């Protein structure tokens, strides 16, 4: 990945931080985008843009264009930005569905649309989205979240078909990710069975790599040790 320019959205989250560090370790130049303010100083190989609302198309375009202007190119986009809500359908708030759509679908859509003009001139252009195993068959309380992540799956497939031969577009579908927040919310779970951010980062960066040049339109479950 030496010299490749990779944008990671949701860069300050548990998975985003690991992906950023792993990409840097492989020689990539990385731009981290996040809704939260950033305190990370710029280096030759890394910049961090905070206060970016990727659910707003204009903000997404401004941020992505700034990255391309800074590094002079763009080779890969990793759409990690998103969110989760657990709420029964009948008793829930319809606004939750809109919120999940904005956090999970619109962020990936807007970042991808903004990145495509830059990616289209790269010799090894990649988009990697984060879907969810839970979106393959929704359980109780998972309606809004699963529906939004299913939208990410369909977005992935559509973009892969539209840009086949120019940009590979794939999605990684985690089960439960082993994070501090998830451990706190599910203290009785068997954490050893969950997938770690490091394991997910390996799959994501494989899809970004030249080795994965023939893989596109794939929805890859990463379920941990179940």
Please state the φ and ψ torsions of residue 197, each to the nearest 5 degrees.
-55, -35
Catalytic annotation present for 101: no
Residue that has been written with the tokens 């198309």 in this structure? 57
On whether the CB atoms of residues 53 and 62 are closer than 8 A, the answer is: no
Catalytic residue among 35, 145, 163, 194: 145
Please state the separation of Cα 68 from the chain's center in Å: 18
- C-alpha closest to that of 29 among 52, 12, 51, 45: 45
Helix 107-119 × helix 57-71 angle, to 10°: 40
- C-alpha closest to that of 33 among 55, 13, 52: 52
Who contacts 123 (Cβ-Cβ below 8 Å, separation ≥6)?
Answer: none
Q: Compute the distance between CA of residue 197 and CA of residue 18 in angstroms, rounded to an integer.
A: 6
- Strands, E assignment, the chain: 5-9, 29-33, 46-49, 76-79, 125-130, 167-174, 219-222
Q: Which residues are catalytic?
A: 145
């Amino acid at each position: 990945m030496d010299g490749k320019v990779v944008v990671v959205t949701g860069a300050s989250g548990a998975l985003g931080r690991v992906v950023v560090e792993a990409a840097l370790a492989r020689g990539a130049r990385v731009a981290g985008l996040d809704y939260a303010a950033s305190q990370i100083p710029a280096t030759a190989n890394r910049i961090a843009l905070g206060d970016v609302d990727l659910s707003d198309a204009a903000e997404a375009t401004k941020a992505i264009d700034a990255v391309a202007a800074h590094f002079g190119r763009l080779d890969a986009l990793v759409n990690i930005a998103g969110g989760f809500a657990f709420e029964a359908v009948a008793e829930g708030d319809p606004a939750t569905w809109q919120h999940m759509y904005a956090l999970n679908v619109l962020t990936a859509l807007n970042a991808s649309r903004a990145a495509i003009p830059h990616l289209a001139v790269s010799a090894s252009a990649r988009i990697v989205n984060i879907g969810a195993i839970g979106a393959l068959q929704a359980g109780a309380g998972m309606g809004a979240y699963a529906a939004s992540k299913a939208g990410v799956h369909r977005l992935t497939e559509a973009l892969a078909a539209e840009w086949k031969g120019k940009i590979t577009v794939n999605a990684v579908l985690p089960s439960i990710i082993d994070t501090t927040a998830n451990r706190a919310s599910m203290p009785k779970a068997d954490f050893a069975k969950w997938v770690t951010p490091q394991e997910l980062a390996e799959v994501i960066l494989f899809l970004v790599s030249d080795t994965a040049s023939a893989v596109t339109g794939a929805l890859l479950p990463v379920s941990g040790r179940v």
